[in-house]
Amino acid sequence: MRIRVIFVQDVPPRYRAGDVREVAGGYARNYLIPRGLALPATPPNLQRLGKIKKVGEERRQRLAQEMTVLAERIQGQVITLRARAAEGGKLYGSVSASAIADALSQAIGQPIERRLIALAEPIKAIGQYQVRVNLYYGIAPTITVVVEEEGRAPAQAAPASPATATPAPAGEKVEDVHGETASP
């Protein structure tokens, strides 16, 4: 059974504040309405629709401004992580989105959730990777994640080369520690 509701808050990625939609009854009764994300689409609630849309749009604009400022702080950050590796540069474990989020949070002094880190799969080799941080709709700064072997002296920073000047797709290997261009 479907129930018609008015969304009071954004529920990404599908619904925005002010949308009037039909959703599954259980989803509305057990999740949306108890959490204050939606209201039943009754005549008195439908009369408030204009105000709900206006408040939702103001909230989205304010959040977009905050995320733009945060994106400027994040853009271009270089995060260095150390991990144990075999002779060929393959890691014994992997570098996950959680590890990147923790390191980025420490670097900028503000918490970043792991779900915002756009990694197709965990990083499993030593090297340098371009990783996107999806903060908000259309706001996705790129950071550089350098994975080094644990116990070795840090590699000296190489001058920017064409391989590092253009952003690679999220999670793709750009250049390994030895300066050789490679793919994952």
CATH number at residue 28: 3.40.5.10
Q: How confident is the model at residue 180 (pLDDT cuts 50, 70, 90)?
A: very low
Residue 155 has pLDDT above 80, yes or no: no
Is 54 a member of any domain? yes
Structural domain of 134? 75-175
d(CA 117, CA 67): 14
What was the pLDDT predicted at 178?
Answer: 39
Is 68 a member of any domain? no
Q: Which two tokens stand for residue 20?
A: 């009037």
Q: Which two tokens stand for residue 145?
A: 């994640």
Residue 177 has pLDDT above 50, yes or no: no
Q: What is the greatest pairwise CA distance in the chain?
A: 69
Q: Which two tokens stand for residue 71?
A: 């994106």
Is 130 a member of any domain? yes
pLDDT averaged over the chain? 82
